Amino acid sequence: MSFHKRLTTYFGQVTQHRNRGRLLSVTVTRDNLWFALPSEPPFVLDIDRYAIERFIAGEACQPDQSRRIHAELMPEPYLGDPFIAPVILLNLNPGYSAEDCRFYADASRRRACRDNLEHKRAAYPFFLLNPDYALFSGPRWWRAKLKQLIVETSLEQVARKVCCIEYFPYHSPKFGFGKLILESQRYSFDLVRRAIADRKIIVAMRARRLWENAVPELKSHHCLELNSPQSVWITRNNISEGGFDHIKKAIAK
C-alpha cells in the first residue's frame, strides 16, 4: 500500500476532530501547536487531519503528483527563530526531493527538525544551515539562496538572524495549496503578525498577495520584494530599494 493510501486509511480511523466545524483561534501567547506533532509518521497534526484527508481525496484522480503531501517527513512551517531573528522571509512551503528521505532518516537530524518546531535553542537556529548538513539537497538549496548574505556576514550570523516562515507547513514537490487553509497555519500567521508588531524586516519571497490575504496587516507594513520571485535569491541585485544592505546591516549587528 502506498504511503498516501496508508495516510488516508490512517485518517479514516481517527475520530472526527471536535473542532472540525470551526477554525481555532491561535495566538503566539498560547502553546505552540507543533509540540503535538506525532512521534512517528504520518507527521500530521490532529487539527489538520480532516482538511488534509479531504484534500487527498480530491487529488486521488489527478495524474500529476506534484502537490502530493509527503507526511512521512516532519513539517517545516518555519526555519529559524522567529522571535530573535530580525529578518523574516515569507515563502510558500517546504519542497520535496527523494534525498529528503535520506536526510531525515538520521535520528539526530530528525531531532534538529523537531527542536526547530519547538523553538528550542540551537547553535544554528536556521538548522538547515548547519555545516554538518551541507551536502544534502535542502541545505544546499538554502545556502545557494542565502550565499551573498553568508559571504558578506557569516554563516553563523545568518543562521541566527534570518527566519523563514512558510505559508503551508507540509512538504510537497510544488505548491498548490492556496485554497487549503489548515488550523496549524494560524500559528504561522500570528508569528508574522508579531514580526510586524516588532517592526522586523520582512521579505516577501513569493506570493505576496496570498500572504496579504492571510495576514492583512502586511498591506500596511513595508515589505521588501524580490525583483525575480522565480529565483528567490536573496542578493543585492534581486532586492529593490537597497533592501539587501538593510538586511545585511540587521544581520551584522
User: What pTM does this model have?
Assistant: 0.87
Overall average pLDDT of the 52-59 stretch: 82
Cell of 134: 551541507
Q: Which amino acid is at 217?
A: E
Q: Which amino acid is at 31?
A: D
**Coil, strand or helix: which one is 164?**
strand
Question: Read out DSSP for 183-217?
Answer: TTHHHHHHHHHHHHHTT-EEEE-S-HHHHHHH-GG
Residue 21 pLDDT exceeds 90: no
Question: Residue ranges of the alpha helices (H) in the chain?
Answer: 3-12, 46-59, 98-104, 107-117, 137-145, 147-152, 155-161, 185-197, 208-214, 243-252
Cell of 40: 512517528
Quick one: pLDDT band at residue 239, thresholds 50, 70, 90?
very high
Quick one: pLDDT band at residue 3, thresholds 50, 70, 90?
very low
The pLDDT of residue 16 is 36
Give kind and range of the element (H or E) at residue 90.
strand 87-91
Domain map (residue ranges) of the chain = 3-252
Mind listing the pLDDT tens digit for each residue in 116-149? 999 999 999 999 999 999 999 999 999 999 999 9
The pLDDT of residue 56 is 81
Cell of 120: 528550542
Q: Which among 156, 252, 237 is positioned nearest to 201, based on CA atoms?
A: 252
Task: Give the count of alpha carbons within 13 A of 213, CB side only.
Answer: 9
- Structural contact between residues 86 and 184, judged by C-beta atoms closer than 8 angstroms: no
Cell of 52: 488534509
Quick one: pLDDT band at residue 66, thresholds 50, 70, 90?
confident
